[in-house]
Chain A
Amino acid sequence: MSAPRTLFDKVWDGHVVLERPDGVALLWVDRHFVHEGSHHGFAKLAARGMALAQPELTFGVVDHYAPTRGGLAAAAPDIQRMVRTLETNAEAHGFRCFGLDDPRQGIVHVIGPEQGLTLPGLTINCGDSHTSTHGAFGALAFGIGATEVAHVLATQTIWQKRPKRMRITIEGVLGPGVSAKDMALCWIARLGADGAQGHAVEYAGAAVRNLSMEGRMTLCNLSIEGGARCGLVAPDQVTVDYLHGRPFAPAGPEFDRAAQVWMDLASDAQALFDREILLDAADIAPTVTWGTSPEEALPVTASVPDPAGLPQGRAERAREALDYMGLIPGQPLAGTPIDTVFIGSCTNARIEDLRAAAAVLSGRRAKVPGLVSPGSRKIKAQAEQEGLDRIFIEAGLEWAEPGCSMCVGMNGDIVGAGKRCASTTNRNFRGRQGRGARTHLMSPAMVAAAAVAGGLADVRPLLEGRA
């Protein structure tokens, strides 16, 4: 009998082309997603006059620079150029690219799963750190840089050193108004933004199994914010049901055969992890960030921390963060006035996220302006069919086209200098949403609550009496 293995090791072992004596392995890559930001990788390929190794396994999408309002014609020239460069590369190399006018267009980490391109047991790379999202399906998915992008384009393989394994087990039941976003912010706050550095993280436990695929994607998406190389959830019936009938997924008897293989990927009962973390779902509250790193997060019921009470290195960092964020130590987080809200990004712009925000906003007005950018065209259409767009618009928010938008501001959607934004995105870094912008990360329901209150707010009272 072979030694018990983790989910991660099973997928890894199944993709090793060869292993060097120094322990670095050459892995086969099942899916390579590219976007406008991959232009450096294509330029490197062109500089060598090399062809794309596997056009069939390469998929492109316009997302990072996608205009969310006014269309491409009205966009700045360099944005038009970035979009055109990707489309030109797709034509030249013969891979499929979901352009702005494609009904399948959306954020890369949203459309991969949505189209059934993301499957359990695959290796998936993309020149974007939130590639960890796809691990929700039990895939080995991680972000890479431009040199590595060029390598995957040229060879369909990647050199990697096997990371250590960590398991984060979250048992129990989440309270009302608490979501996958809060689970992620909670463990990152506990372990630190580098807490999982060098590790592949598997999420386990009842609270994880009870998440929908959307929730699992949010959880895995944020793995990188805790420093993890990737995040994974073992495939189960929820995974299989989600994938059934997706356009690029296997069909008919082949789907059933694949599903059986996928179900066997779960970590063996005796498999060992280098680190084990145990959390209780009941201890997780609706969470918001107060600083400029995702680890600087607290329950919304808490107060802004006082750097004086922190250890020396931490204190300095906290002081700088509070100065940038314009917050006063000791003041309650709830009630901090905000200027705008953003609902979008590969973290929280799926249909379930939009429903959660709409459930809070329904019949209410936002006190501040804001933008809602669904994760894909398909999600946009679905939301409109359910009337969610009306709820957002009637609340006073803007209903826009899909793209990375205000998550990274490359398309021009930015938060003004000194302005405070309640955001469903993944990074509260200085200047991430625009120079001088102050970002508070939280779940879609919490962003909706902030919009209604005009400041950071606990969503739970707003959900009382609502389904």
Chain B
Amino acid sequence: MSGWTRFTGQAVALPLESIDTDQLIPARFMSAPRGEGYGSFLLHDLRFDSAGKADPAFVLNRHRDANVLVTRRNFGCGSSREAAVYALVDFGIKAVIAPSFGDIFAANAINNGLLPASAGAAVVEDLIAALGADTAEVGIDLAAGAIFLAGRGIELRLAPDARDKLINGWDDIDLTKAHGQEIAAFCARHRRQAPWSWPGHG
């Protein structure tokens, strides 16, 4: 995965609370291989009716070029499905701004280059009001820790490890492989100290 530091794009408001991962991608799409992209599954049952017709009023149908979402608390709660992040990323979303995120979702997002930017609830409400049903230009600077949106400068709250990972596009498996010896040493010690941690033979 390649990292990124600065980004400019178009933000839209999705003024809903607790958009869970079942809504981000309904379970029935999850057996699909990633190859064809998951973008069309994003918020599928909010975007399309049961006959598959797009709801012209839904904000992401009106603004197909949107790449930053501003939304309410507890975004991405629920299931651990990384497919929810794939749907956002494949649609073209680069960042989500919300007061809070589901823990597993936030980790999955970082692992796929998607920024889960938390901002205060009052700031988010202000942005939602400013955006209304339209888009606005948004700039994000990870290194400076700042977001510029609808004429406002907002502090980007992001843990340093998450920021470093997004900027460098680090891949954890590569990072961890450098610690192979420490892992082997731990494993040997753990086996001596807690032998019962290894499963019996069933």
Same complex: yes
> Assuming the A-B contacts A14-B194, A157-B183, A249-B200, are A147 and B111 also in contact, with contact meaning beta carbons closer than 8 angstroms in the complex?
yes
B79: A residues at CB distance < 8 A: 128-129, 408, 427
Contact assessment for B26 and A431 in the assembled complex, using a CB-CB cutoff below 8 Å? yes
Q: A385 to B71, alpha carbons, bound, how many Å?
A: 51
B36: A residues at CB distance < 8 A: none
A400: B residues at CB distance < 8 A: none
**A219-240 with Cβ < 8 A to chain B:** 227, 229
A431: B residues at CB distance < 8 A: 22-23, 26, 45
Q: Which of B102-110, B135-143, B148-156 contacts A (4 or more CB under 8 A)?
A: B102-110
Report the minimum CB–CB distance from A354 to chain B (whole Å): 24
Q: A227 to B18, alpha carbons, bound, how many Å?
A: 11
A-B contact count (CB 8 A): 187
B173: A residues at CB distance < 8 A: 48, 50, 150-151, 154-155
Q: Which of B20, B27, B107 makes the CB contact (< 8 A) with A148?
A: B107
Contact assessment for A155 and B111 in the assembled complex, using a CB-CB cutoff below 8 Å? no
Q: A431 to B49, alpha carbons, bound, how many Å?
A: 13
Q: Which of A161, A192, A409, A417 makes the CB contact (< 8 A) with B159?
A: A161
Contact assessment for B107 and A145 in the assembled complex, using a CB-CB cutoff below 8 Å? yes
Q: A65 to B190, alpha carbons, bound, how many Å?
A: 35
> Assuming the A-B contacts A145-B85, A251-B200, A436-B50, are A17 and B78 also in contact, with contact meaning beta carbons closer than 8 angstroms in the complex?
no
Contact assessment for B30 and A229 in the assembled complex, using a CB-CB cutoff below 8 Å? no
Report the minimum CB–CB distance from A283 to chain B (whole Å): 25
Contact assessment for B80 and A17 in the assembled complex, using a CB-CB cutoff below 8 Å? no
A316: B residues at CB distance < 8 A: 15
Contact assessment for B179 and A409 in the assembled complex, using a CB-CB cutoff below 8 Å? no
> Assuming the A-B contacts A22-B161, A78-B31, A147-B82, are A194 and B73 also in contact, with contact meaning beta carbons closer than 8 angstroms in the complex?
yes
Contact assessment for B27 and A157 in the assembled complex, using a CB-CB cutoff below 8 Å? no
Which residue of chain A has the shortest Cβ distance to B185 in the bound complex? A17
Q: A7 to B67, alpha carbons, bound, how many Å?
A: 43
Instruction: State which size class the interface on A falls in.
Output: 35 or more
Q: Interface on A for B, CB 8 Å cutoff? A: 14-15, 17-18, 20, 22-24, 26, 28, 30-31, 37, 40, 43, 48, 50, 56-57, 59, 65, 78-79, 81-82, 96, 115-117, 119, 121-122, 127-129, 142-148, 150-151, 154-157, 159, 161, 163, 192-194, 197-198, 227, 229, 247-251, 254-255, 257-258, 261, 293, 313, 316-317, 320, 408-410, 417, 427, 429-432, 435-436
A163: B residues at CB distance < 8 A: 103
A161: B residues at CB distance < 8 A: 159, 161
Residues 1-45 of B, flagged 1 when their CB comes within 8 A of A and 0 if not, give: 000000000000001111010110011101101100000000001
Contact assessment for B78 and A429 in the assembled complex, using a CB-CB cutoff below 8 Å? yes
The 11 sampled A-B contact pairs (Cβ below 8 Å) are A15-B190, A26-B183, A121-B194, A121-B197, A145-B81, A147-B112, A159-B175, A192-B74, A194-B18, A194-B100, A317-B16
Q: A255 to B196, alpha carbons, bound, how many Å?
A: 8
Contact assessment for A194 and B179 in the assembled complex, using a CB-CB cutoff below 8 Å? no
Q: A185 to B23, alpha carbons, bound, how many Å?
A: 21
Contact assessment for A40 and B200 in the assembled complex, using a CB-CB cutoff below 8 Å? no
Contact assessment for B104 and A129 in the assembled complex, using a CB-CB cutoff below 8 Å? yes
Contact assessment for A293 and B18 in the assembled complex, using a CB-CB cutoff below 8 Å? yes
Q: Which of B22, B103, B104, B200 makes the CB contact (< 8 A) with A247?
A: B200
B50: A residues at CB distance < 8 A: 417, 435-436
B199: A residues at CB distance < 8 A: 31, 56-57, 59, 116-117, 248
B26: A residues at CB distance < 8 A: 431, 435
B53 contacts A by Cβ under 8 Å: no
> Assuming the A-B contacts A128-B80, A157-B183, are A193 and B18 also in contact, with contact meaning beta carbons closer than 8 angstroms in the complex?
yes
Q: A342 to B112, alpha carbons, bound, how many Å?
A: 36
Q: A78 to B17, alpha carbons, bound, how many Å?
A: 33
Contact assessment for A155 and B197 in the assembled complex, using a CB-CB cutoff below 8 Å? no
**B78-95 with Cβ < 8 A to chain A:** 78-83, 85
Contact assessment for A40 and B83 in the assembled complex, using a CB-CB cutoff below 8 Å? yes
Q: A127 to B111, alpha carbons, bound, how many Å?
A: 15
Contact assessment for B176 and A229 in the assembled complex, using a CB-CB cutoff below 8 Å? no
A432: B residues at CB distance < 8 A: 22, 27
Q: A427 to B26, alpha carbons, bound, how many Å?
A: 13
> Assuming the A-B contacts A56-B198, A129-B79, A430-B45, are A147 and B108 also in contact, with contact meaning beta carbons closer than 8 angstroms in the complex?
yes
Residues 113-143 of B, flagged 1 when their CB comes within 8 A of A and 0 if not, give: 0000000000001000000000000000000
Q: A154 to B172, alpha carbons, bound, how many Å?
A: 10
B196: A residues at CB distance < 8 A: 119, 250, 254-255, 257-258, 261
B72 contacts A by Cβ under 8 Å: yes
B23: A residues at CB distance < 8 A: 429-431
- Inter-chain pairs besides A143-B104, A148-B107, 13 sampled, C-beta below 8 Å: A26-B182, A40-B83, A122-B197, A128-B79, A145-B80, A145-B85, A147-B111, A159-B175, A317-B18, A320-B16, A410-B27, A430-B20, A431-B23
A250: B residues at CB distance < 8 A: 196, 200
Residues 186-202 of B, flagged 1 when their CB comes within 8 A of A and 0 if not, give: 11001000111111111
A79: B residues at CB distance < 8 A: 31
A194: B residues at CB distance < 8 A: 18, 73-74, 77, 100, 102
Contact assessment for A145 and B161 in the assembled complex, using a CB-CB cutoff below 8 Å? no
Which residue of chain B has the shortest Cβ distance to A150 in the bound complex? B173
Q: A119 to B183, alpha carbons, bound, how many Å?
A: 22
Contact assessment for B77 and A227 in the assembled complex, using a CB-CB cutoff below 8 Å? yes
Q: Which of B15, B33, B81, B186 makes the CB contact (< 8 A) with A37?
A: B81
Most buried by A among B16, B31, B81, B186: B31
Contact assessment for B104 and A145 in the assembled complex, using a CB-CB cutoff below 8 Å? yes
Q: Which of A59, A147, A156 makes the CB contact (< 8 A) with B172?
A: A147
Q: A246 to B132, alpha carbons, bound, how many Å?
A: 58
Contact assessment for A193 and B77 in the assembled complex, using a CB-CB cutoff below 8 Å? yes
B83: A residues at CB distance < 8 A: 40, 146
Q: Which of A417, A427, A435 makes the CB contact (< 8 A) with B78?
A: A427
A254: B residues at CB distance < 8 A: 195-196
Which residue of chain A has the shortest Cβ distance to B35 in the bound complex? A43
**B146-178 with Cβ < 8 A to chain A:** 159-161, 164, 172-173, 175-177
